[in-house]
C-alpha cells in the first residue's frame, strides 16, 4: 500500500510482516521466551489514563526539548537496534537521514550493519548522535570503540547492561544464521551460527561487566555515561550515586529477561525512590531518565514525560518502516509522531514539554507499592 495509507506506527508492522524476508522478520519481531514482557510493554501504557486540562489556548504547541543538553524537535530518540541491513540494503543510513530531516537523535548500535564511520559520515553537520555500547571481553577493543566514537563527535555513551547473555528468542533461533549477513562488528570471538542471528553476533559480550568497571569508562572518555537496561530503583540510585548522566529504564524490547517489567512501570518507582532518598525531582537535567519498549503513539510518550522521563526511545517501528519503505518510511513514521504530538498536546492542554506534568496522568494502576 502507498505510504498515505499508513496511518499509525502499528501499520508498519503489519506491512513489514508481509514484505520482509522471513529471517529478518524473525530477528526484528522476536522477543524472549513466551514474549510476556514484550506484550506487557504495550499493555502497561494501557493502564495509564489522562487528566487533561482545558481552556488553555493551545493554538500553538511546541514539543521540542533537550536530551543530555542537545536539542530535539520531539521528546523521542531512535534507539539502537542491530542489523539494519537485514531489513533494507541501506540499513541504519535510513535512520540517519530521517533523523537529520526531523531534528531527532539517533543512537548508533555497536552491532550496526553499516560501519560506524559510514553512519557518522552520513550525518549532517551538527547532527547529534549517541552510541550504544556492548562491552567486549577484550577491553582494548572496547576502549578503541569508545574513544573513536568520542573522536567522531558522539554525544553520549549508552552502555547496555541487560544483556550479559542474549535472551532466548525462539522465533529467531528457529532460523539458522546461514550467513550472507552484513558485516556487523562481530568482535573477535568465535561465532556460533546454529542459534539464530542474535546469538551468532553477540558471543563477544562480557558477562563479567560490573559496577566497578564504570570508573574505567570514566577514565577513558568524557562522553556522558548512561546505563541502558536498568529495571529497578536500586540500580538507578546506584547509577546516580556513581555520578552517571542517566539510565534507560528498558527491558530491551522484551528480548532479554521474560517477566521483566515495562520501563514505564519501573519509571514510577524510580522517581518515587530517588525523590525520597536523594531529594531529586524529574525530569532532571543532571540525572536523566529515559524509557523504551512498546512505545507506538505520542500518547505513550506523553505519559512517560508526565511521569518524569526526559525522552523516550523507539525501536521496532522504525525498523519496520524502513524494511517496508526505506528512508521514506522512517520519514513518514516521524511525520505521524509529529502530528500525533500536535493533536494530543492540544487535547491534554499542554503547550510545551514543561507543561506535561504528573497531574495530567492517572497512573494509580501501575507501579509497585
Ligand atoms: C534491539 N535492542 C538493542 N539494544 C541494544 O542495546 N543493543 C542492540 O544491539 C539492540 N538490538 C536490537 C535489535 C532489535 C531488532 C530490536 C527490536 C531491539 C533493544 C532496543 O534498543 C530497545 O530497547 C527496544 O527495541 C525498545 O522496544 P521497541 O520500541 O522495539 O518496542
Nearest to 207 by CA among 167, 168, 164, 166: 164
pTM for this predicted structure: 0.95
Partner residues linked to 105 by β-bridges: 77
Three-class SS state of 214:
helix
Characterize the bridge pairing of strands 246-249 and 225-230: parallel
* Ligand 1 contacts CB of residue 315 (under 6 A): yes
What proportion of the chain, given as a percentage, has pLDDT over 90? 89
The rounded distance, in Å, linking the Cα atoms of 163 and 108 is: 17
| 214: its cell numbers | 564504570
Positive or negative torsion for Cα 196, 198, 200, 203: negative
Q: Could you write out the three-class secondary structure of 109-177?
A: ECCCCCCHHHHHHCCCCCCCEEEEECCECCHHHHHHHHHHHHHCCCCCEEEECCCCCCCCCHHHHCCCC
Q: How distant, in Å, are the alpha carbons of 160, 199, 202, 206, 266 from that of 164? A: 9, 12, 10, 6, 20
Predicted local distance difference test score (pLDDT) of residue 188: 35
Counting from 1 in the atom list of ligand 1, the atom nearest the Cα of 250 is 23
State if residue 80 touches ligand 1 by the CB under 6 angstroms criterion.
Answer: yes
Confidence check: pLDDT of 191 > 50: no
| Residue nearest (by alpha carbon) to ligand 1 atom 14 | 81
Give the residue, out of 253, 257, 312, 330, with the most ligand 1 atoms within 8 A of its beta carbon, to mutate for a pocket test. Answer: 253
192 vs 350, residue with greater confidence: 350
pLDDT at 193 over 60: no
Closest atom, ligand 1, to C-alpha of 319: 15
Is residue 5 exposed (0-12), middle (13-18) or buried (19+ Cβ within 10 Å)? exposed
Query: 293 CB less than 6 Å from ligand 1?
Result: yes
Q: Which residue(s) pair with 106 in the sheet?
A: 78, 129
pLDDT at residue 368 in the model: 62
Dmax (CA) for the chain in angstroms is 62
295 φ/ψ angles, rounded to the nearest 5 degrees:
-80, 120
- Kindly state if the Cβ of 323 falls inside 6 Å of ligand 1: no
Q: Is the peptide bond before 283 cis (omega within 30 degrees of 0)?
A: yes
Q: Which residues contact 203 (CB under 8 A, 6 or more apart)?
A: 187, 189, 190, 191, 192
Ligand 1 pocket: which of 133, 261, 300, 315 to mutate (most atoms within 8 A of CB):
315
CA distance 313 to 300: 11
Give residue 276 CA to ligand 1 midpoint distance, Å.
31
Among protein residues, the one with the nearest Cα to ligand 1's atom 1 is 81
Provide the Cα torsion 224, 158, 108, 87; round to 10°: -160
| Distance in Å, CA 314 to ligand 1 centroid | 8
**How many Å apart are CA 67 and CA 268, to the nearest integer?**
20
CA dist 298 and 345 (Å) reads: 9
Interval 115-168: pLDDT, tens:
999 999 999 999 999 999 999 999 999 999 999 999 999 999 999 999 999 998
Active site residues: 134, 162, 252
* C-alpha to C-alpha distance for 107 and 347, rounded to whole angstroms: 30
Q: Residue 28: CB within 6 Å of ligand 1?
A: yes
Task: Please write down the HEC assignment for all residues of 29-91.
Answer: HCCCCCCHHHHHHHHHHHCCEECCCCCCCCCCCECCEEECCEEECCCEEECCCCCHHHCCCCC
Mean pLDDT (the chain, rounded): 94
Pocket test for ligand 1, best of 28, 43, 76, 82 (most atoms within 8 A of CB): 82
The DSSP call for residue 287 is S
Mean pLDDT over 249-266 rounds to: 98
**Residue 183: pLDDT band by 50, 70, 90 thresholds?**
very low
Cell numbers placing 181:
549477513
Picking from 295, 258, 341, the residue whose alpha carbon sits closest to that of residue 60 is 341
Question: Are 71 and 308 contacting, i.e. CB atoms less than 8 angstroms apart?
Answer: no
Give the model confidence (pLDDT) of 36-92 as tens digits: 999 999 999 999 999 999 999 999 999 999 999 999 999 999 999 999 999 999 999
Burial class (CB in 10 A: 0-12, 13-18, 19+), 2: exposed
Amino acid at each position: 500500500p502507498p505510504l498515505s495509507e499508513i496511518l499509525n506506527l502499528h501499520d508498519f508492522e503489519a506491512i513489514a510482516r508481509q514484505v520482509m524476508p522471513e529471517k529478518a522478520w524473525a530477528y526484528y519481531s522476536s522477543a524472549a521466551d513466551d514474549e510476556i514482557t514484550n506484550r506487557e510493554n504495550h499493555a502497561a501504557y494501557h493502564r495509564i489514563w489522562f487528566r487533561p486540562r482545558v481552556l488553555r489556548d493551545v493554538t500553538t504547541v511546541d514539543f521540542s526539548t533537550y536530551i543530555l543538553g542537545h536539542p530535539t524537535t520531539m521528546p523521542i530518540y531512535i534507539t539502537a537496534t542491530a542489523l539494519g541491513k537485514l531489513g533494507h540494503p541501506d540499513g541504519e543510513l535510513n535512520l540517519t537521514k530521517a533523523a537529520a530531516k526531523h531534528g531527532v537523535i539517533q543512537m548508533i548500535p555497536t552491532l550496526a550493519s553499516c560501519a560506524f564511520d559510514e553512519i557518522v559520515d552520513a550525518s549532517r553537520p551538527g547532527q547529534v548522535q549517541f552510541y550504544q555500547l556492548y562491552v567486549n571481553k577484550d577491553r582494548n577493543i572496547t576502549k578503541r570503540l569508545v574513544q573513536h566514537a568520542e573522536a567522531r563527535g558522539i554525544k553520549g555513551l549508552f552502555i547496555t547492561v541487560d544483556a550479559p547473555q542474549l535472551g532466548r528468542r525462539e522465533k529467531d533461533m528457529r532460523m539458522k544464521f546461514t550467513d550472507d549477513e552484513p558485516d556487523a562488528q562481530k568482535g573477535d570471538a568465535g561465532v556460533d551460527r546454529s542459534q539464530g542471528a542474535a546469538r551468532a553476533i553477540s558471543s563477544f559480550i562480557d558477562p563479567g561487566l560490573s559496577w566497578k568497571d564504570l570508573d574505567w569508562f570514566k577514565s577513558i572518555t568524557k562522553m556522558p555515561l548512561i546505563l541502558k537496561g536498568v529495571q529497578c530503583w536500586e540500580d538507578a540510585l546506584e547509577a546516580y550515586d556513581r555520578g552517571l548522566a542517566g539510565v534507560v529504564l528498558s527491558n530491551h524490547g522484551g528480548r532479554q529477561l521474560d517477566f521483566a517489567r515495562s520501563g514505564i512501570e519501573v519509571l514510577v518507582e524510580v522517581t518515587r525512590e530517588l525523590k525520597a532518598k536523594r531529594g531529586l525531582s524529574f525530569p532532571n537535567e543532571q540525572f536523566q531518565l529515559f524509557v523504551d519498549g512498546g512505545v507506538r503513539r505520542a500518547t505513550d510518550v506523553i505519559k512517560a514525560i508526565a511521569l518524569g522521563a526526559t525522552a523516550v526511545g523507539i525501536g521496532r517501528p522504525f525498523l519496520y518502516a524502513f524494511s517496508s519503505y526505506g528512508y521514506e518510511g522512517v520519514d513518514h513514521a516521524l511525520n505521524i509522531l509529529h502530528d500525533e504530538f500536535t493533536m494530543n498536546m492540544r487535547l491534554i492542554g499542554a503547550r510545551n514539554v514543561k507543561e506535561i506534568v504528573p497531574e495530567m496522568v492517572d497512573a494509580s494502576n501501575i507501579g509497585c507499592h
